[in-house]
Structure 1
């Protein structure tokens, strides 16, 4: 199959990886669906995730992980490979390094096509999504201390707004909190990961009269 239209759209609508700077500010956040929530004034810690898009004969997929059950935070959640930037790193460098550390993804098989909107998390990180392009399924090996599972989700599923829903939880003693969710089979993609995907959808297809048709054409 040809994914030329998807690649062209990514290159045209994402920010160049070379344009990253530590002065970037949040465009999307956990507060988008919670405008009444108190948003602390703080210096955000820079982080990056890799959004690896993999070409297959039957359509592109996105590589994702399920975090280890032994981690101290975000246990068992669905995530992209990623983490905080080391001193002197760019977002692209950090995304590739973290993907190698977490799932042994060879940086040499990943072509970085661009960056999505910087995303502020409720825990005080400013996350840069870095989109990577892979021409074939890579060899991966999850680091057991960090990753319980590596799997792929079809691109057209993630870019179908029918699969984007708003869910909520009621914290004890606090106000209801809303978040984006994209349940896929037995997996529950939500929170920051779903918010980043929603941001990519907005960047790539948000101005289309029929975004689902455009996304389907890119995946065909």
Structure 2
């Protein structure tokens, strides 16, 4: 094993990625992100999602859910736990409540790092704010997915998200990032949030992208979500 490969591998270890210095650098970069919303009027719906970091084995992963096929919109698509804000809730409170309701992670078991800038939803009138947090003492077998909302819970190693062989794009203007991991395709708002977060978390020499290497159309990704 070469020294450079060892350093690259260590870049994804909890000791490095979840260190206080890594967290501080990430939060500082997150604060510089622009708001990706272009509303003619104020959004009518506010929502938030949790970007859940977790430790699996000796590596940091990101947790995702696959939406139930029983849902009316975005059925079968990969998403982060989250949903619409209730009255008087903060962005963080919404993300933690929805995470507890959807996958059974108690809000006190999430160490919140901070929140990202808002992103306009696909339905044009929704503003989605991602909240970054680490699920402490993570164990997959302790999760309890809500079958009405969640078909599957899975995690993806951050190293896999950095592997350019797993990169593709949705044919759009501009092209939107797609991550391929096994049978799953991470795209849409979830793919964009993932990309923005990784840019904040990782050094440029670790997170290098090649989204243009493979192309998907919206119809292809929608069809794959139903499989």
Report TM bin, short chain.
Answer: 0.7 to 0.9
Residue equivalent to 2:136: 135
User: Aligned in 2, Cα 1:177/1:6: closer, same or farther, shift over 3 Å?
Assistant: closer
Residue equivalent to 1:34: none
Residue equivalent to 2:183: 186
Q: Does 1:43 align with 2:42?
A: yes
**How far, CA to CA, are the matches of 1:43 and 1:78 in structure 2?**
27
Verify the 8 A CA contact 1:26 1:119 in the aligned structure 2: no
**Aligned residues: CA RMSD:** 2.8
Stretch deviating more after TM superposition (48-57 or 176-185) = 176-185
Report how many aligned residue pairs link the two structures.
Answer: 190
Q: Deviations over 1:170-211 (max 9, x none)?
A: xxxxxx784321111001111000000111122233xx4513
Verify the 8 A CA contact 1:28 1:119 in the aligned structure 2: yes
Query: Which structure shows the bigger proportion of residues in helix conformation?
Result: 2
Verify the 8 A CA contact 2:52 2:62 in the aligned structure 1: yes
Q: Offset at 1:15?
A: 6.0
Stretch deviating more after TM superposition (53-62 or 94-103) = 53-62
Residue equivalent to 2:14: 3
User: Aligned in 2, Cα 1:209/1:132: closer, same or farther, shift over 3 Å?
Assistant: closer
User: Aligned in 2, Cα 1:161/1:46: closer, same or farther, shift over 3 Å?
Assistant: farther
In the alignment, structure 1 segments of 5+ residues that lack a partner are: 20-24, 30-38, 170-175, 214-220
TM-score by length of 2: 0.73
Residue equivalent to 2:95: 95
SS at match of 2:148: coil
**How far, CA to CA, are the matches of 2:156 and 2:188 in structure 1?**
17
User: Aligned in 2, Cα 1:71/1:4: closer, same or farther, shift over 3 Å?
Assistant: same
**How far, CA to CA, are the matches of 1:51 and 1:40 in structure 2?**
24
Q: Deviations over 1:149-184 (max 9, x none)?
A: 111111222244553322227xxxxxx784321111
Higher relative contact order (CA 8 A, sep 6+): 1
User: Aligned in 2, Cα 1:197/1:115: closer, same or farther, shift over 3 Å?
Assistant: same
User: Aligned in 2, Cα 1:75/1:135: closer, same or farther, shift over 3 Å?
Assistant: same
Residue equivalent to 1:36: none
Verify the 8 A CA contact 2:67 2:149 in the aligned structure 1: yes
In the alignment, structure 2 segments of 5+ residues that lack a partner are: 1-9, 209-227
Residue equivalent to 2:36: 28
Verify the 8 A CA contact 1:28 1:199 in the aligned structure 2: no
SS at match of 1:211: coil
